[in-house]
Chain A
Amino acid sequence: MTGAVAGPRAKSEALLELRSVRVGFRERRHEHEIVRGVNLLVRAGEKLGIVGESGSGKTLTVLSVLRLLPGRLQLLSGRVSFAGQDLTELRERQLRQVRGSQVAMVYQDPMTSLNPLLRVRSQVVETLRAHGAGRDEAHDRCREVLYQVGLPDPERVERSFPHELSGGMQQRVMIAIALSVSPRLLIADEPTTALDVTVQQQILELVEGLQEHTGMAVVWVTHDLGVVARTVDQVAVMYAGRVVELAPTRRLFARPSHPYTAALLGALPSAGAGHRRPLTQIGGTPPDPARLGSGCPFRARCRHAVARCEEEEPTLIGRGEGSFAACWRAPEEWAS
Chain B
Amino acid sequence: MLASVARRLLSMLVTLLGVSVIIFLVLRLLPGNAVTAQMGVSAGLLSHAQRVALDHYYGVGEPFLRQYVSWLGAMLTGNLGVSLSSRTSVVSLVGAALPVTLELAIASMVIGELIGVLFGVFGSLRPRGVVDNAGQGVAVVGLGVPSFVIGTGLVTFLASSFHYFPSSRAFAGLFSNPWLNLQQIFFPALTLGLGVGAAIMRTTRAAMLEVVSTGFARTARGKGLSKFVVTWKHLFLGALVPVVTMSGIQLGYLLGGTVVVEQIFVLPGLGRLLVNSISNRDFPVVQSVTLIFAAGFIVVNMLTDMLYTLIDPRTHAR
Contact = CB atoms under 8 A, between A and B. Distances in A.
Given A71-B213, A115-B216, A100 B224 contact: yes
Contact of A99 (B222, B229, B234): B222
A104 B225 CA distance: 12
Interface stretch (A126-134, A206-214, A228-236): A126-134
A126 B237 contact: no
19 contacts: A66-B222, A70-B218, A96-B224, A100-B222, A100-B224, A104-B222, A107-B215, A113-B218, A114-B219, A115-B237, A117-B312, A118-B233, A118-B237, A126-B225, A127-B224, A130-B226, A131-B224, A161-B313, A174-B219
Contacts of B219: 105, 107, 113-115, 174, 177
A310 interface: no
A127 B223 contact: yes
Contacts of A118: 233-234, 237
A70 B213 contact: yes
B222 A68 contact: yes
Interface of A: 66, 68, 70-71, 92, 96-101, 104-105, 107, 109, 112-118, 126-127, 130-131, 161, 163, 174, 177
Contacts of A127: 223-225
Contacts of A161: 313-314
A68 B215 CA distance: 11
A105 B312 CA distance: 26
A116 B223 contact: no
Interface in B231-262: 233-234, 237-238, 240
B311 interface: yes
A127 B223 CA distance: 6
Contacts of A177: 219, 223
Nearest 6 A-B pairs (CB), nearest first? A100-B224, A112-B215, A99-B224, A100-B223, A115-B216, A161-B313
B217 to A, nearest CB: 8
B240 to A, nearest CB: 8
User: What range describes how many residues of B lie at the interface?
Assistant: 20 to 34
B221 interface: yes
B220 interface: yes
B214 interface: yes
Nearest to A99: B224
Contact of A112 (B214, B222, B234, B312): B214
A68 B218 CA distance: 7
Interface of B: 213-216, 218-227, 229, 233-234, 237-238, 240, 311-314
B160 to A, nearest CB: 49
Contacts of B238: 115, 117
Contacts of A66: 222
B223 A126 contact: yes
Interface centre among B218, B222, B234 (most CB of A within 10 A): B222
A126 B233 contact: yes
Given A118-B237, A126-B233, A161-B313, A105 B215 contact: no
| Interface SS, B side | helix
Given A126-B233, A163-B313, A101 B215 contact: no
A118 B234 CA distance: 9
A118 B219 CA distance: 13
Contact of B229 (A70, A104, A112, A126): A126
A114 B237 CA distance: 13
Contacts of B215: 107, 109, 112-113
A96 B314 contact: no
A121 B183 CA distance: 46
Contacts of A98: 224
A109 B226 CA distance: 24
Contacts of B314: 116, 161, 163
Given A68-B221, A92-B227, A174-B219, 11 more contacts: A68-B222, A107-B215, A107-B219, A114-B216, A116-B216, A117-B237, A117-B240, A117-B311, A118-B237, A130-B223, A130-B226
A130 B229 contact: yes
Contacts of A71: 213
A94 B219 CA distance: 18
A156 to B, nearest CB: 15
A101 B224 contact: yes
Nearest to B217: A115
Nearest to B219: A113
A107 B227 CA distance: 21
A116 B218 contact: no
A214 B238 CA distance: 34
B237 to A, nearest CB: 5
A107 B224 contact: no
Nearest to A96: B224
Nearest to B235: A115
B228 to A, nearest CB: 11
Nearest to B317: A163
Contacts of A68: 218, 221-222
Interface centre among A101, A105, A114, A126 (most CB of B within 10 A): A126
Nearest to B316: A161
Contacts of B226: 96, 130
Nearest to A69: B218
Contacts of A117: 237-238, 240, 311-313
A43 B120 CA distance: 44
A115 B215 CA distance: 8
A92 B240 CA distance: 26
A115 B234 contact: yes
Nearest to B216: A115
A115 B220 contact: yes
A113 B222 CA distance: 11
A109 B214 CA distance: 11
A174 B218 CA distance: 13
Contacts of B229: 126, 130
